[in-house]
Amino acid sequence: MTSTHLAPIIRAEHTTMYGDAHVSSSNGGQMLDGKVIMIAGASSGIGAAAARLFAAEGAQVVLMARREERIQALAEELTASGAQASACAGDVTRPDDVARVVTSAVKIYGRLDGAFNNAGWATAGTRLHEDDEADFHRVLEVNLLGVWNCLRQQIPAMLDSGTGGSIVNTSSHAGVAATGASAAYVAAKHAVLGLTKAAAADYGRDKIRVNALVVGATRTELMEEVISATPALEEAFTSRSAQQRMAAPAEVAQAAAWLLSDRSSFVTGSSMAVDGGATAL
């Protein structure tokens, strides 16, 4: 089911030329002014924070998550503040769901300029030989297959527009090192970085940029559940950061917004650390 909420927003723009890239910015200085951006995993945590930030930065946002009531409420919150937002429930592990959301974005707004592939699911507290087989497959399905499904639908939509676009995939500090998360999660997040680089290389000439966030421990709903189940992990997570703390979801959303904006026009194939300095230690 697709729910749409629209509110007119008019802004003046100017365009600057950098090499082959046309970099637009509004008089108000909004990073994402006028861009149509899909957010997968938008119902809570980093995804919900990103929806609020992207809308505040002038984007028209398409919210995807399994929990329809949550993204519906978030879309209503955003439109009440004068933004343009639509909610389209779906599961990233199902290709038909992703195709429906991308199709909806193009039908409503005319194109797809950007995407934040942020849906995730994790387990922790067990060693590799103790991992439950069903959990192993579920972690790979959500974190790896989910990104794959999104890329396969988002990229053709951007190719059809002829104007390119920007995609940001959420990886993790677990994508560069073993962190105490399950082996499946570590493997999946490593693979997300590989998909990101492959996609960046394949579509760079089409003006489609693909980057990843290497996200450190963040106080999301899922993280709180993990810590509640295994309290000792909180100290382990915070001790890995040079800042000795976890991130707020909005801090991660800020990095995603920059990568989705034209301000990062010469950045593609990168793995940006947003981890409080964990990768520096």
**Which residues are part of the catalytic machinery?**
185
Q: What is the C-alpha separation between 111 and 209, in angstroms, rounded?
A: 16
Specify which residues 159 forms β-bridges with. none
Q: What is the C-alpha separation between 40 and 47, in angstroms, rounded?
A: 7
Q: Which two tokens stand for residue 133?
A: 């087989």
DSSP output for 174-241:
GGTS--SB-HHHHHHHHHHHHHHHHHHHHHGGGTEEEEEEEE--B--HHHHHHHHH-THHHHHHHHTS
Q: Are 212 and 169 in contact (CB under 8 A)?
A: yes
Q: Are 35 and 260 in contact (CB under 8 A)?
A: yes
Q: Which two tokens stand for residue 266?
A: 């010469």
Q: Which two tokens stand for residue 180?
A: 């105490």
Closest CA to 242 of 205, 190, 277, 202: 277
Q: What is the C-alpha separation between 71 and 91, in angstroms, rounded?
A: 13
Element (H, E) at 14: strand 13-18
Q: Which two tokens stand for residue 236?
A: 């382990």
258 exposed, middle or buried (CB, 10 Å; 0-12, 13-18, 19+)?
A: middle
